[in-house]
């Protein structure tokens, strides 16, 4: 059974650009959550999607957005990149909406903004 797949694994972007990250959940999982991981800040919740609807959102500016497709794959977009957006972006999938103990994380996309 395939795990959670995130692409690309690494990205280097310039300030002001925008970026799109992709997450394919485990087959059958309908919920996808996104987290930003930075040294010293841990894992900070960005948003959760379930059945193509955003169900929860963290405290991030509007430059961070996401969506989910009918096949449960999710993308997150960051516009007008800032140096502080450099981080590991993790997605986690689960069978149902909300956190039910069944989170499986992907390996992440490491974004570097220069």
Site residues, other proteins (CB under 8 A):
4, 33, 35, 40-45, 48, 50, 55-56, 90, 96-101, 103, 105-108
CB of residue 110 vs other proteins: minimum separation in angstroms?
Answer: 10
| Shortest distance, position 98 Cβ to other proteins, whole Å | 4
Query: What Å distances lie between residue 87 and 50, 81, 82, 108, CA to CA?
Result: 24, 12, 11, 10
Closer Cβ to other proteins, 71 or 107, answer by number: 107
Q: Indicate the residue among 17 and 54 with the shorter CB distance to other proteins.
A: 54
Residue 81 or residue 94: which is nearer to other proteins going by CB?
94
CB 87 within 8 A of CB 37: yes
- Residue 83 contacts residue 14 (beta carbons within 8 Å): no
Q: What is the dihedral of CA 71, 56, 14, 22, to 10 degrees?
A: -20
């Amino acid at each position: 059974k395939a795990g959670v797949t995130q692409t690309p694994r690494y990205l280097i972007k310039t300030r002001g650009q925008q970026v799109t990250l992709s997450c394919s959940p485990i087959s059958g999982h309908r919920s996808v959550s996104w987290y930003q991981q930075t040294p010293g800040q841990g894992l900070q919740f960005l948003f959760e999607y379930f059945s193509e609807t955003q169900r929860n959102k963290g405290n991030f500016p509007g430059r961070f957005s996401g969506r989910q497709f009918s096949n449960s794959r999710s993308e997150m977009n960051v516009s007008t990149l800032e140096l502080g957006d450099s981080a590991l972006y993790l997605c986690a999938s689960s069978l149902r909406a909300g956190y039910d103990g069944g989170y499986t994380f992907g390996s992440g996309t490491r974004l570097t903004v220069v």
